[in-house]
């Protein structure tokens, strides 16, 4: 399921089915103040900070990166990555595709594109991947994870030497790396859920009143947290931003109402939508069907 709201959500596939391909892997030390961008890339990229520091700008944000940080972004994310002007930066990076029949690399270099400074303010893109037993998981743009440097370096060496069979070996390393990052994210998410039991109160409030236009401030007040801190904990505990979670709960309710009400308009009104068009767009983004298609498909005859 792919959800779209103010930010864009892009589904990259099912973890057990993807055939990731490494397009480029390197391990480099760059001069102080080195800057990449503003630009877009044609594929996906993971960049791991080994030594030094850097900043990453995208979607109106500026991330401060230090050793152990791994950033992730795709072709839909205009960005600028800048090494610190104070000391050299050592990084390892991988350009890749999530799913490709052939493991043969396709160099990203001819397709790197400069973009206007203003594009760094465009809304963020959230990527989701289906994990068996979990469902759709939002992939973090920033991981603070140790223990993956070796995988990055092995991929860089394999790509550099390109001995026979290197494409398949790179695919295996990349699957291992993606699996490690996803497991790290899930482990942290579950720990956060256990440590943040108050979030369950907010979740219950949403589920009890999915038609209410909950604000983050209202939900945060219920559990006694600052809105920014609450939003961070909520995402860690549930895997979703509060507004995304609210929309998903509304659509669950909508599926029941569509089997009872005569019109899509009546369902939209009951769920608090001011626009049938907006309701239909949310419904299709979550379920893959329009409300009318869902209603027709589930009619008894």
Does residue 15 surpass a pLDDT of 50? yes
Q: For residues 127 and 119, is the Cβ–Cβ distance under 8 A?
A: no
* Per-domain residue ranges of the chain: 8-192, 199-297
Does residue 3 surpass a pLDDT of 60? no
228 versus 1: the higher-pLDDT residue is: 228
Q: What pLDDT does residue 194 have? A: 54
Does residue 165 surpass a pLDDT of 70? yes
Instruction: Write a three-state SS string for the chain.
Output: CCCCCCCEEEEEEECCCCCCEEEEEEEEEECCCCEEEEEECCCEEEEEEEECCEEEEECCEEEEECCCEEEEEECCCCEEEEECCCCCEEEEEEEEECCCCCCCCCCCHHHCEECCHHHHHCCCEEEEEEECCCEEEECCCEEECCCCHHHHHHHHHHHHHCCCCHHHHHHHHHHHHHHHHHHHHHHHHHHHHHHCCCHHHHHHHHHHCCCCCCCHHHHHHHHCCCHHHHHHHHHHHHCCCHHHHHHHHHHHHHHHHHCCCCCHHHHHHHCCCCCHHHHHHHHHHHHCCCHHHHHHHCCCC
Does residue 278 surpass a pLDDT of 50? yes
The reply to whether CATH 3.40.50.2300 applies to domain 8-192 is no
Reported confidence tier of residue 233, pLDDT bands at 50, 70, 90: confident
Share of the chain above pLDDT 90, in %: 55
CATH number for the domain formed by residue range(s) 199-297: 1.10.10.60
283 versus 159: the higher-pLDDT residue is: 159
Q: What pLDDT does residue 54 have? A: 97
Does residue 4 surpass a pLDDT of 50? no
Does residue 269 surpass a pLDDT of 50? yes
């Amino acid at each position: 399921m792919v959800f779209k709201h103010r930010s864009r959500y892009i589904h990259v596939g099912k973890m057990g089915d993807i055939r990731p391909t490494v397009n480029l892997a390197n391990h480099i030390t760059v001069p102080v103040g080195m800057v990449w961008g503003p630009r877009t890339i044609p594929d996906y990229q993971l960049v791991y900070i080994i030594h030094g520091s850097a900043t990453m700008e995208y979607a109106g944000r500026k991330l401060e990166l230090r050793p152990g940080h791994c950033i992730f972004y795709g072709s839909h994310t205009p960005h600028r990555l800048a090494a610190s002007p104070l000391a050299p930066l050592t990084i390892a990076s991988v350009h890749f595709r999530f799913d490709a029949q052939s493991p043969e690399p396709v160099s990203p270099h001819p397709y790197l594109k400069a973009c206007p400074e203003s594009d760094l303010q465009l809304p963020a893109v959230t990527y989701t991947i289906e994990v068996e037993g979990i469902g759709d998981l939002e992939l973090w743009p920033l991981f603070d994870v140790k223990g993956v440097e070796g995988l990055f370096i092995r991929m860089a060496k394999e790509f550099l030497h390109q001995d026979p069979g290197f494409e398949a070996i790179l695919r295996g390393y990349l699957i291992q790396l993606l699996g490690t990052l996803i497991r790290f994210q899930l482990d942290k998410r579950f720990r956060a859920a256990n440590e943040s039991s108050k979030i369950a109160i907010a979740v219950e409030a949403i589920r009890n009143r999915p038609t209410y236009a909950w604000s983050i401030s209202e939900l945060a007040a219920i559990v006694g947290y600052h809105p920014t801190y609450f939003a961070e904990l909520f995402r860690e505990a549930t895997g979703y931003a509060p507004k995304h979670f609210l929309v998903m709960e509304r659509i669950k309710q909508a599926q029941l109402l569509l089997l009872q009400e005569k019109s899509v308009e009546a369902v939209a009104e009951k769920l608090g939508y001011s626009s049938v068009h907006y309701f239909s767009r949310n419904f299709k983004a979550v379920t893959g069907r329009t409300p009318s298609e869902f209603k027709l498909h589930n009619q008894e005859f």
